[in-house]
């Protein structure tokens, strides 16, 4: 009798070691990126590596360490204090593309992972202002367009 339980994506791609390789390769690029590096306040990228590794492992069916340590991912909320514009997204994706390619996954697994990463990166975009990334939510709010519409001034004569 065989076990009919399907394997998780996490297990199919090689488990913990695969995700560590992915994240290590990704942060090797981020470490020297003048736009992205300021997003990581720690001098050492070790804590960021741990957070991303455990998040991805949990998302793809591996251990639930991320949730146990940090609760619900709330990715948009956690990235809200940072100036994530299309340039930052594209840089993030460029470093992640190098990391995914380094894994040499089978085509279906590579496409599945890459599709998710592209969608996640797009979802983190929170501004279209051209300046860099960093804890600038307060400054951004002052310069942003109002959230509520201002009624147009009527040009018709009043009766």
Query: What DSSP string describes 75-90?
Result: HHHHHTTB---HHHHH
Fill in the DSSP letter of residue 32: T
The token pair that represents 36 in the structure block: 């992205």
Distance CA 85, CA 76 (A): 13
Q: Name the strand (E) or helix (H) holding 61.
A: none
Q: Which of 5, 7, 4, 9 is nearest to 108 (CA)?
A: 9
Give 61's pLDDT tier (boundaries 50, 70, 90): very high
The token pair that represents 131 in the structure block: 């300046």
pLDDT digits (tens, 9 = 90+) for 87-130: 999 999 999 999 999 999 999 999 999 999 999 999 999 988 88
Q: Given a cut of 60, is residue 157 above it in pLDDT?
A: no
Report pTM: 0.78
Distance CA 56, CA 85 (A): 22
A 10 A CB-CB count for 7 gives 10
β-partners of residue 82 are: 135
Taking the alpha carbons at both ends of the chain, their separation in whole angstroms is: 86
β-partners of residue 135 are: 82
Name 13's Cβ contacts closer than 8 Å, sequence gap at least 6: 60, 103, 105, 109, 113
Give 22's pLDDT tier (boundaries 50, 70, 90): very high
């Amino acid at each position: 009798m065989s076990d009919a339980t399907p394997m998780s994506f996490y297990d199919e791609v090689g488990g913990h070691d695969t995700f560590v390789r992915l994240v290590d390769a990704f942060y090797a690029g981020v470490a020297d990126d003048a736009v992205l590096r300021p997003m990581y306040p720690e001098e050492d990228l070790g804590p960021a590596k741990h957070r991303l590794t455990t998040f991805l492992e949990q998302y793809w069916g591996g251990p639930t360490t991320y949730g146990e340590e940090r609760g619900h991912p709330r990715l948009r909320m956690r990235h809200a204090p940072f100036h994530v514009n299309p340039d930052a997204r594209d840089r993030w994706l460029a470093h992640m593309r190098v990391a995914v390619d380094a894994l040499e996954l089978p085509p279906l697994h590579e496409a599945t992972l890459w599709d998710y990463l592209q969608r996640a990166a797009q979802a983190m975009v929170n501004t279209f202002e051209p300046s860099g990334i960093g804890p600038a939510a307060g400054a951004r709010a002052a310069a942003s367009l109002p959230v509520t519409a201002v009624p147009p001034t009527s040009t018709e004569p009043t009766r």
